[in-house]
Chain A
Amino acid sequence: MALYKTQGPIVVAFLSALIVIVSNFVDAPGLGQLSTDVKSFGAIIAGFALFVGLLGIMQSHVNNVTKRKPLWQYSVLLVAVLVLFIAVGLAYGANSTQFLWIYDTIYGPLTATTYSLLAFWVCSAAYRAFKPRNLESGILVFTGLLTFFGIQPIASVISPIFYNIQSFIMSVPNIAGSRGIVIGIGLGVIGFGLRVLLGWDRSWMGAD
């Protein structure tokens, strides 16, 4: 395979990351501006990638409609709304009252509906998962019930100790556990980043 295909992306990624990382620690003339420019390049490339993504959406859903695949009617709806948003945005601007009206009338209620489903998903996940099958799961269920009960207004009426227990659980063992996970995640990011930048991990390039 051509060198520019195998090594080129690694060199570009390494140099770009080196400029941004070094600019965070070293104060040198022009380095800050160079770092800002590199980040701008990324934003510009992302804009082109958005265009490619949109073409992919159109191709996929037009294909569904022309071949009358199952639920092709929804593809018609998607393409129609996509074209409507683009047309109104280009004609009147993204901050115009017309565009915002479409956004508030169509998009707002749809996202609120999708988000509201979370309440039901939480209940079904909790019902299925929180069963005391062994000692560890029993401790999990008991602790969860204590925490849940402790924040209820009636718990304070019965005794203030429930709120204190809930506060302790949330502020001590919960924070300790989550901080450990966050530290691990941060280190994982550093290690993964180093492997990618030095070309040791090339899975993102599709290489074997």
Chain B
Amino acid sequence: MVGLISGKISDFVVLLIFWATLYFSIRTSMSGKLPNLRRLPAIDAIDEALGRAAEMGKTVLFTHGTGTLESSEAAGSLAAIAALPYVARKCAQLELKLFLPTGSHTAYTVLSEVARESYQLEGKPELFDQNNIQYLSNVARAYSAGVMSTLMTQNVGAAVFLGSYHHAGLMLVETANRVGALSVGGTDSTSQIPWFVAGCDYALIGEEIYALGAYLSKDPVSVGGLAGLDIIKALILAVITLGVVLYQVGIDLTGWFRV
């Protein structure tokens, strides 16, 4: 017997509504009606950081955090990897050495391919060095020790920390500050967001890392997706407000979301 699982029907309906909103928003964007995006200072800071590193003859470090691609933190890591082509191509243009330490063995091969293709697209495949992509460890403390070592020994002038971090985030950000590197950071780990805001020169908070790929590429699909997410957030806000108001007069809507 095939049927929807009891207790998850409302979840399924909500997911379909979200997907439909995103789909139509992306299709609208692809038809040429691009929404306006509020510029984030951290995005301009990436260009500033890379330019500064080039002027000072220093290197660049880009890391996607401790999230692996087969865990629940895959979205944060993938969002960070979505920004890598832009950073890698800029490094190729400016002939900067790019270090890509990773705490995920599955991301190691993805980073290698993305970086290699980025350098090839800029016509500088000879500048790509596989040895600069290091799989350190899946363990957060060992990973952070390895990244701290790279920051302190490789003359890093610009550091980009994006993705999911646990307690390792603060260590990396502070080490970048100690070596004088201009740091741009963003994480979806709620425990690390305050430390990224406090420690990084420019910070992206939470979902802004998912929008980073759209900002950097200006791709209509990504931009349309951002607009769709804003529409969904407005819907959620409306439902929450309606629920709170109705609850005050004795009407409980929570049962609707447990079908």
Contacts and interface: CB of A to CB of B under 8 A. Distances in A.
Contacts of B190: 178, 181-182, 185
B222 A187 contact: no
B78 A43 contact: no
A191 B82 CA distance: 14
A27 B1 contact: yes
Interface stretch (B34-42, B90-98, B113-121): B113-121
A201 B207 contact: no
B156 interface: no
Given A178-B190, A192-B79, A200-B221, A52 B171 contact: no
Nearest to B110: A204
A190 B190 CA distance: 17
Contact of A125 (B15, B170, B193, B232): B170
A42 to B, nearest CB: 5
A206 B135 contact: no
A4 interface: no
Interface in B196-239: 197-199, 205-207, 209-211, 213, 217, 219, 221-222, 225-226, 228-229, 232-233, 236
Contact of A183 (B81, B170, B236): B236
Contacts of B26: 195, 200
Contacts of A182: 190, 206
Nearest to A46: B70
A129 B199 contact: yes
A121 to B, nearest CB: 4
A22 to B, nearest CB: 10
A34 B24 CA distance: 31
A25 B12 contact: yes
Given A181-B206, A204-B110, A49 B105 contact: yes
A93 interface: no
**Interface footprint category on A:** 35 or more
B199 to A, nearest CB: 5
Given A49-B109, A185-B207, A190 B18 contact: yes
Interface in A22-76: 24-29, 42-43, 45-46, 49-50, 52-54, 56-57, 59-60, 63, 70-71
A54 B105 CA distance: 8
A201 B212 CA distance: 12
Contacts of B5: 24-27
B233 A121 contact: no
B113 A206 contact: yes
Nearest to A39: B70
Interface in A102-116: 110-111, 114-115
A122 B170 CA distance: 7
Contact of A206 (B8, B117, B199, B217): B117
Given A111-B139, A192-B78, A192-B79, A26 B3 contact: yes
B167 A201 contact: no
B247 interface: no
A124 interface: yes
Contact of B213 (A25, A54, A203): A203
B243 to A, nearest CB: 14
B144 A125 contact: no
Contacts of A43: 70
A60 B134 contact: yes
A187 B229 contact: yes
A189 interface: yes
B106 to A, nearest CB: 4
A204 B2 contact: no
B4 interface: yes
Contacts of A183: 233, 236
Given A46-B70, A53-B105, A206-B116, A188 B85 contact: no
A203 B85 contact: yes
B76 to A, nearest CB: 8
Contacts of B130: 56
Interface string B158-177: 00000000010011011001
Given A187-B232, A191-B229, 5 more contacts: A114-B144, A184-B207, A185-B206, A200-B222, A203-B114
The 5 closest A-B pairs by CB, nearest first: A53-B105, A129-B198, A188-B210, A188-B207, A53-B135
